[in-house]
Copies of this chain bind each other. A is one copy, B any other.
């Protein structure tokens, strides 16, 4: 193995100890998976971009096996399109698919707040309030951070239900929503209104499940609307070309 000898570039300890603390997964596969995931969500990899196994393997100093596995996972999450015998591409959802994703997200978020209403304990309430304050502070100065915190708010809410499956689905969906926003959204409107978050929390604390659900529905609708209804950017090469083609035939 001439190549595997020195692929621990980060310098951190990659192995999982057998101590009882159950450290995170040590496998290179997981690391690559997470790295790619981040790269896609943070728009370092544009939708539609090709992702050859070799290239990924070389980039991370691993073999294609690892890259392949990471791509497979990402494809299940919907962040990567895997075409048989063709290769992998950063997902490039159509506008309609984007709408579908937002629809599902809305439904999931609704489940979250319905379960949470009236069931928050004191610790959770203080944590959420602190998150809101953080959001507010960041909102003024660091836009990028504000977006991150806003996303985290939704995820944290889901975690508080204790429902693993719900968390997984919402995580996936939120990721895909960011992807959709990078394609069809305006540059970077802070997608979440902090006031809306605050209202939702208050409704949850007051045990007003239906109200919280409606607020959340409205909130997500808002985000989706801003991005998907206004923007008329065509997205895929096909769309672009078809619009050019129609222009040609008219002229």
Chain B residues near A163 (CB, 8 Å)?
A: 100, 103-104
Q: Are B27 and A100 in contact (CB under 8 A)?
A: no
Name the distance in Å between A91's Cβ and chain B's nearest Cβ.
Answer: 12
Q: Are B108 and A107 in contact (CB under 8 A)?
A: yes
- Kindly supply a per-residue 1/0 record for chain A positions 14-46, scoring 1 wherever the CB is within 8 Å of any chain B CB and 0 otherwise: 001000000001110000000000000000000
Name the distance in Å between A6's Cβ and chain B's nearest Cβ.
Answer: 23
A187 at the interface (CB under 8 A from B): no
Write the chain B residue with the least CB distance to A77.
B76
Q: Are B108 and A78 in contact (CB under 8 A)?
A: no
A4 at the interface (CB under 8 A from B): no
Write the chain B residue with the least CB distance to A115.
B103
Q: How far is the CA of A164 from the CA of B25 in the complex (A)?
A: 31
Chain B residues near A97 (CB, 8 Å)?
A: 164-165
Write the chain B residue with the least CB distance to A96.
B162
A194 at the interface (CB under 8 A from B): no
Q: Are B169 and A104 in contact (CB under 8 A)?
A: yes
Cross-chain contact of A76 among B76, B84, B107, B108 (Cβ < 8 A): B76
Q: Which chain A residues numbered 166 to 183 have a C-beta less than 8 Å away from chain B?
A: 166, 169, 173, 176
Sample of 16 A–B contacts (CB below 8 Å):
A16-B84, A69-B72, A72-B72, A76-B76, A78-B165, A100-B162, A100-B164, A101-B165, A103-B163, A103-B166, A104-B165, A104-B166, A107-B107, A107-B110, A165-B176, A169-B169
Chain B residues near A226 (CB, 8 Å)?
A: none
